Structure 1
Amino acid sequence: MDRVYQALVAAVAAFAAISFPCLLIAFLCRHRKNRLLEPDRRCLSSSSLPVRVSTELSSSWSLYGSSIDASLKKLSLDDLARATGDFSPDNIIGDGSFGFVYRAVLPDGGAVAVKRLSADHATGAGNREFRAELEVLGSLSHRNLARLLGYCAAGRDRLLVYELLERGSLDAWLHGDGAGGTPLLPWAARLRVTRGVAAALAFLHHDCHPPVLHRDVKSSNVLLDEGFEAKLADFGHARVVTGGPAASHVSTQAAGTVGYMAPEIRQGVGASIKADVYSFGVLMIEIVAGRRPSWPMKNIGGKEVEPLKWAREKVEAGMSLEITDCRLQIEVEKETKEVEAFLDIAHSCTEECPKYRPTMKEVVEMLTKI
């Protein structure tokens, strides 16, 4: 009997010795999982990227140094919704492939621009765009780059907060009606804007280590401040060129906008920094001609042709002034020479073969001489 009792005690002791550590491990794992699922309410610094997104409805902020930091730190997602009129369509000041941009007035009266990804794009490509903006624009500072103030990740919501540039996009100024709506943008201002965009791209390509490829240069992604200083925005498609400026390409995935896209991207070869140069050249022609590059036009024979092809043929034939926006009324000899030199640069930027295009550093030097 004693042997049976002893065997029973030994069995219970062995079971306890095995079960207790297992139960302890299970408890610790469950406790850790619960902690990971708790709302993340900390204010994060830019060094915290990429952000760990909470699965609960809470806000995670990262701020990049601005006079309104104190106000942003106090905002919840509900506060931000109120600042945009509950994301009212009346407050939409821009849109993109993944959502809308809203004008927001903070409780202290300060105004910012809030880009909100649509719910359908909170994951997948939209989330990649969100992270690309954070990882690229959040770490950069240049007078010709739109300043990212912070972001908010709350449940399925993804929001980016920028400085508000009251004059809006270059697209609106180029293609407004010139009367009663957006005023006509004069030639001097167009030249100033072009130099600003060129400076931004030269900074990304030559002063960033590793270089950064924007991949979506277009007029709607150029914003203007009160002094018509250009600010390049929307880095959702941006990529870091890990192989340096001489890298052949960083991605074979097509990215960009019809009309601005370099031929090598359309052919599936891949994008290099020279693809940005091509898009910039298209933008230059749009700036001087006042025509959208995606809208076909008719030549003398009535045949529809691409605006870029039409413009390049005019430059090659020595008829650059025929490309110029007629509303500008370029008559002064100085401005005439500036337009001709301007379009010569645009022509070189839009060469079919990437190796024949100048670098953005060279473009900046050429524009400075105009």
Structure 2
Amino acid sequence: MVHLEDKEQYIFYEYRDSSNKTIPSEESSKDEQRRKLAVAISVSFFSVLMIVLTFYWRKKKLRGNIPQEKGDDEAHEEKLELPLFDFTTIVHATNNFSSDKRLGQGGFGHVYMIQGTLIDGQEVAVKRLAHKSGQGVREFKNEVILCAKLQHRNLVKVLGCCIQGEERILIYEYMPNKSLDSFLFGMFYSSRELLDWMKRFNIIFGIARGLLYLHQDSRLRIIHRDLKTSNILLDNELNPKISDFGVARMFTENQMEANTKIVAGTYGYMAPEYAIEGIFSTKSDVFSFGIILLEIVSGRKNTGIFYPNQGFNLLGHAWRLWKEENPMKLVDACLEDTFTISEVLRCIHIGLLCVQLHPEDRPNMASVILMLTNENTLPQPKEPGFLIERTPIIEEQSSSKNMTNSSTNEVTVTLLDAR
């Protein structure tokens, strides 16, 4: 028996009952409860922490751990908002990516056509990125994120994607007439004949509307950075749709231009300030549009073609004809009498305004739309920024038997100041 001096002291002692068992005090019981509660809270906190870390790791893995160049927009940080398709389903639909379903090859992989087995009987195109293409993965994710947000009749509609292991696949609406360059620069003259002037003007106007949407009317301001004829797809009725947003960049509402150390695009279509200094803006796309416009009018490619006895590419040739006040010689011969002279002249004029050296001298796309739709007087264009000239160099070669003169050609790219 334990003797207590008073009642209040009882809670600080233990006593043993007749069976010799220790009976805990009231305070000891409360301490034990506190310990159990602390352990429970610690376990719960640790579990929640592990769930958060696991979620973060899986999200980071899904993004592919792609390094960002300085100044990149935050589009890569946003989650993918397109339907995800299973890789096995796509393999089955493409017959294991067989060559008979292949439409062509892009910069980072092949494009295939699927009929009616993937999306509600719809014909779709499947772009499969080549494996081990780090830049291609980044561009793929960029295209997925941007295309999920952009909807316009003159932009290709993206329907879904697949991200599984190393596989990166984009699914978009099928364009039966393929790309504009296959008509303008294809092997057969007849393909150009299919594009009469009315169709060509409709294509020019459609591309302009698509660019206006990207630059001004969409909730995002998008700079395409790789606008060219092979990235203009044509639907059943030969309506143009801008495609391939892999290297596109998103601007903030008040941002006017940006600079990059990684110049991504196609020479012959890139603006001088972008190709040389890495500076790009909406006016960079305007320059590319100007090149495309001149290619549509002439049926000739800006790069790789030099005109006899002139030594210029298409841009230099167009400028020379303009200075000689004979721009109609630029018009594709297969158009014959299908065009209105004033309309064609206006398009050539607009094309030359779009390719001026300084970005501030080029019109924006809103102004281009107005120029295409009315007959107001246009400003005189200044000398284009990029001209490719083939310069003849005479070299004398001597031998013990005779003296002969031979000439060789060098291709030089000249950046000319506007006058």
**2: CA distance between counterparts of 1:248 and 1:23?**
51
Q: Is the 8 A contact 2:76 2:145 kept in 1?
A: no
2:212 to 184, 202, 211: 202
Question: 1:254-288: CA deviations, max 9, x gaps?
Answer: 12101101111121141111010000000001111
**2: CA distance between counterparts of 1:322 and 1:29?**
72
Structure 1 length normalisation: TM-score?
0.78
Q: Report whether the alignment pairs 1:292 with 2:301.
A: yes
**1: CA distance between counterparts of 2:329 and 2:174?**
36
Q: Is the 8 A contact 1:241 1:250 kept in 2?
A: no
2:131 to 113, 119, 125: 119
Gaps of 5+ in 2: 1-34, 60-74, 376-419
Question: 1:164-195: CA deviations, max 9, x gaps?
Answer: 11111111111124467676311110110000
**2: CA distance between counterparts of 1:180 and 1:338?**
23
Q: Is the 8 A contact 1:84 1:105 kept in 2?
A: no
Q: Report whether the alignment pairs 1:241 with 2:251.
A: yes
**2: CA distance between counterparts of 1:296 and 1:150?**
39
Structure 1 residues 49 and 115: alpha-carbon distance in aligned structure 2, compared to 1, 3 A threshold: farther
Q: Paired residue for 2:288?
A: 279
Q: Paired residue for 1:336?
A: 341
Structure 1 residues 297 and 148: alpha-carbon distance in aligned structure 2, compared to 1, 3 A threshold: same
Q: Paired residue for 1:84?
A: 94
Report how many aligned residue pairs link the two structures: 324
**2: CA distance between counterparts of 1:27 and 1:240?**
39
Question: 1:81-130: CA deviations, max 9, x gaps?
Answer: 12122112222223322112211124253210111111121xx3212211
Q: Is the 8 A contact 1:100 1:117 kept in 2?
A: yes
Structure 1 residues 263 and 188: alpha-carbon distance in aligned structure 2, compared to 1, 3 A threshold: same
2:198 to 185, 188, 196: 188
Highest Rg: 1 or 2? 2
SS of residue in 2 equivalent to 1:259: coil
SS of residue in 2 equivalent to 1:296: coil
Q: Is the 8 A contact 1:145 1:200 kept in 2?
A: yes
Q: Paired residue for 2:82?
A: 62
Structure number having the greater strand percentage: 2
How much has 1:19 moved relative to structure 2?
A: 11
Q: Report whether the alignment pairs 1:323 with 2:330.
A: yes
Structure 2 length normalisation: TM-score?
0.69
Q: Paired residue for 1:6?
A: none
**2: CA distance between counterparts of 1:48 and 1:173?**
35
Worse-matched range after superposition: 228-237 or 310-319:
310-319
Structure 1 residues 198 and 38: alpha-carbon distance in aligned structure 2, compared to 1, 3 A threshold: closer
Gaps of 5+ in 1: 1-15, 40-46, 53-60, 64-72
Structure 1 residues 37 and 105: alpha-carbon distance in aligned structure 2, compared to 1, 3 A threshold: farther
